[in-house]
Structure 1
Amino acid sequence: MTVPAIELHDVTRRYDDGPPALHDTTLSVAPGEAVAILGPSGSGKSTLLNLIAGLDRPSGGTVTVDGVRVDKLNETGSARYRRAKIGMVFQFFNLLDDLTVIDNVVLPAQLSGVTRSAARLRAAELLDALGVARHAAAYPGRLSGGERQRVAVARALMNRPTLLLADEPTGALDTASGEEVKRLFNDLHADGQTIVLVTHDLPLAESCATRTIRLVDGRVVADDVRAVTTGRGR
């Protein structure tokens, strides 16, 4: 039996005495799925992503990713879990401006103890696969938004993560760059990468996601799935 990539059971997250940011959420994501999380501001989208990433802990319920009980991890265990299992892509790229493109990409591998030569070889392969190899020695500030997001995705894939999490990956991009990133996520999913993305970009969700989960006031109000065929993993 295939182990779910993500499994949440009765997950609630409260931050104060008000309504919970996430309320009694139960869901399962299979390996190879591409899931878009939609909903208005304050609906619990970012809370859900942070719980899956181990950046936050639930007030109740369980969070399991690739067989790991994320809600039981301490701070050190959470950091190790993210390095081993999670790749993260952010709206504003979060690249280090004083490092070259390739040095940004190799950073997660170096933090995991991979040798510099092996890390640079992996980084070069990813930059080539994502169409930005010619910028390896450049600094992020010299790249377009779409190119910087491709570099950010390369960095996220560096340690061959089980799960790629993306928080508004097209939110800071112009239309042309957004289309580039949309095609990139389609390619990643076609290669078998499991993806969960939070987005307000409906065309991105419709193009890239094989499943759409809608949140309102911390509750799942819709969970729509369509058939997909996936290929190899990166």
Structure 2
Amino acid sequence: MNLPLIELREVSRRYDDGPPALSDASLTVRSGEAVAILGPSGSGKSTLLNLIAGLDRPDTGTVTVDGVRVDRLGEAGSARYRRSRIGMVFQFFNLLDDLTVTDNVVLPAQLAGMARGEAARRATELLESLGIDRHARARPGRLSGGERQRVAVARALMNRPPLLLADEPTGALDTAAGRDVSRLLAELNAEGQTIVVVTHDLALARSCTHRTVRIADGRIIEDVRSHTAAEESVR
């Protein structure tokens, strides 16, 4: 928990002629933290996530993740960075319905050049640890929303990334499945996984993170730590 994994320094991003989507934002996230980025729609939280993920570049400021100056990367470098250092979980899963669960999970490993046998073993390990190994040969469309999100988490963890980014991970789930995914994220963080969750849901933030960063009108307005939230969610 001592080394900074993410460092944003005075980052700004503006689209077209509108107001800044992000303005002079500075943020440090240390290895092993679980952080929620909170804010209403249009507040700048998705822009912040995209900058960390290397999907966008700031107009000013610097973005460093796991020692990599993400804001300096070209298209190919950004792709390599995401494959090796970032796992991403989305609101609508982004699974390929024409592939089996296992094939969806091993896809990042194939893109990274992992040996087929090693990738298969890693996928089996993840599916078992997430309680969805019985669906290994199923197509994602046959699974419940909560099960599909677990597949998405397995895929995100396939290459053992130091950072897991989750964008509204419970937004497309019912209440029970949402609690299940929240608990899973808390358990992963308890095992040492660094997690950044972007959400407008305060209940989700409280259940699976121990720090909340609030954004409004493109500015970070609050940064609050709570050392008990993630622990309480897994009791």
Q: TM-score, normalised by structure 1?
A: 0.96
CA RMSD of the aligned region, Å? Answer: 1.3
> Could you tell me how far 1:2 is from its partner in structure 2?
4.3
- In structure 1, the partner of 2:145 is 145
User: 2:157 corresponds to which letter in structure 1?
Assistant: L
Q: CA deviation at 1:117?
A: 1.0
> CA separation in 2, counterparts of 1:176 and 1:39?
23
CA deviation vs aligned residue, 1:128-173 (integer Å, no higher than 9, x gap): 0000000000000000000000000000000000100000000000
How far 1:199 moved relative to its partner? Answer: 1.0
* Residue matched to 2:34: 34
Q: d(CA) in 1 for partners of 2:128 and 2:183?
A: 16
Count of paired positions = 230
Q: How far did residue 227 of structure 1 move?
A: 2.3
Partner deviation per Cα, 1:60-118 (whole Å, 9 max, x = no partner): 00000011000000100000000000000000000000000000000000000001111
- Runs of 5+ consecutive residues of structure 2 not aligned to the other structure: none
- The 5-angstrom pairing of residues 1-234 of structure 1 reads 2-227=2-227
Displacement of 1:200 after TM fit?
A: 1.9
SS in 2 for 1:117: helix
Which aligned runs of 4 or more in structure 1 are off by greater than 2 angstroms? 227-230
TM-score for the superposition, normalised by structure 2: 0.96
Contact 1:3/1:67, CA 8 A, preserved across alignment: no
Return 5+ residue gaps in structure 1 as ranges: none
In the alignment, residue 10 of structure 1 is paired with which amino acid?
E
- Secondary structure at the aligned position of 2:176 is classed as helix
Shift of 1:3: 3.4
**What displacement does 1:19 show?**
1.1
